[in-house]
Amino acid sequence: METMLTWLALGVVIAASPLPPGLHERSICVEGLRRSYLIHVPGTLAAAETWPVVLAFHGAGANARQMLRMSGLNEKADDSRFVVVYPEGTGVGPLKTFNGGGRGGAMAERDVDDVAFIHGLLDDLASLIPLDSCRVFATGISNGGMMCHRLAAEMPERIAAIAPVAGTLAVRLPPLPRGVPVMHFHGRSDGIVPWTGPNLMTPRFLTFLSVDATVAAWRQANGCPDGWTISEFENVARDGTLVRRHSSRPGRDGSEVILIDIEGGGHTWPGRPNLMIFLGKTTRDISANDLMWEFFERHPLPPPEASPP
C-alpha cells in the first residue's frame, strides 16, 4: 500500500490491467451527454512503465477518425512511445466541433462543456492505462487548436504543454498558477483562421485572436521577457513555403512560447499530405509531429509534492 501511495504522490496513475496495443474506442457520460474518444496504444510500450499521452483534437466539421488519419500521430506515437487519444466533438452526424470559446449564435446555444469532458476523459483513461499524469499534452487543428488553448487556460494543473496547429486563442487567459509551455504552428496564408484574425470572410458568429495577439497573450501570462530569437528552417522541399521559428526567452517555471511561422502556408498540418487543395499549401520542410513531441518531452508537469505521512 505504501508503494502505491508513493507512486500516486508522484503523479503516476497505475491501471490494474492496461489496454493491449491497438486502437480502442471508449465512451463516457459527461453532464448527461454520451461522449466518445479513440485511444491508440503502441506496441512499443511496456506495462511496467508509465505512459505519456497526447490529446489530439480534430477541427470543426471533422471527427476523431479523420484526425487520426490526417495527423499521422499514430506513427509518431509508435516510434516515440506515447499514447494518442482522439476526443470526439459534438454535433450532427460525423460533423463535430469543440467548444473552444469565441462562438456565438446557434453554436453557443448548445453550451457544451468540453473542459468537463476532458477532465472526465482523463479520469477514465487513468483506469485503462498506466497514465503518467505529469506528461499529458494537447494538440489539435483549427477549432481543435482553439480547444487546446482553452484547456491550457482552464486546466493547467493537468495539461503540461500544448502545440496547436492553425487555431488561435478564443478565450481570455485568466491568471495562471504556473507557466504553460506553448508551441503554436500557423501559416501566414491561412484562409480559414487568418493570421491577422477574423476578416470579412469569417462567419460573424466566430471570434478569435490573431496569431500575434495569441502569442503575445501567452508570453504575458507566462512572464516571458520581451524579444524573440528567430531562426529559419532549411528550405529543402521547395514547396512555396518558408518556415521560421520564433522562440521566447524562458518565463515562469521554465515555460516558453514558440511560434512556428510558415510563410506561404495554409490551413494544414505541417509535414503531412494535404488532400484538400483549397486549404492552401502544406510545408514539407518540417514535421509538426516531430517538433511538437521534442517540445513536449522538454516540458512535463513538475511532480506534485508528496503529502507528509
Give 181-224 pLDDT, tens digit per residue.
999 999 999 999 999 998 877 777 778 999 999 999 999 999 99
pLDDT score of 104 more than 90: no
Hey, what's the cell of 131? 497514465
Segments forming the whole domain that contains residue 194: 2-298
For 204-239, give one letter per residue: b (16+ CB within 10 A) or e: eebebbbbeebbebbbebbebeeebeeeebeeeeee
Specify the range with the lowest mean pLDDT, choosing from 89-93, 152-156, 168-172.
89-93
Q: Does the residue 195 lie in any domain?
A: yes
pLDDT score of 106 more than 60: no
pLDDT of residue 57: 98
- pLDDT category of residue 111 using cuts at 50, 70 and 90: confident
Q: Does the residue 303 lie in any domain?
A: no
What does the pLDDT average to over 260-285?
95
pLDDT of residue 206: 78
Q: Does the residue 309 lie in any domain?
A: no
Q: Does the residue 305 lie in any domain?
A: no
Q: Does the residue 304 lie in any domain?
A: no
Q: Does the residue 88 lie in any domain?
A: yes
Q: CATH number, domain at 186?
A: 3.40.50.1820
pTM summary value: 0.92
Q: Does the residue 235 lie in any domain?
A: yes
Coil, strand or helix at 18: coil
What does the pLDDT average to over 3-11?
40
CA 130 to chain centre: 21
**41 or 108: which carries more pLDDT confidence?**
41
Count how many domains the chain has: 1
Q: Does the residue 308 lie in any domain?
A: no
pLDDT of residue 6: 37
**93 or 150: which carries more pLDDT confidence?**
150
Coil, strand or helix at 217: helix
Closest by CA to 299, choosing from 171, 144, 189, 183, is 183
What does the pLDDT average to over 275-302?
96
Alpha-carbon separation of residue 247 from 109, 184, 250 (angstroms):
38, 11, 9
> What does pLDDT average to over the chain?
91
pLDDT score of 107 more than 70: no
pLDDT of residue 2: 37
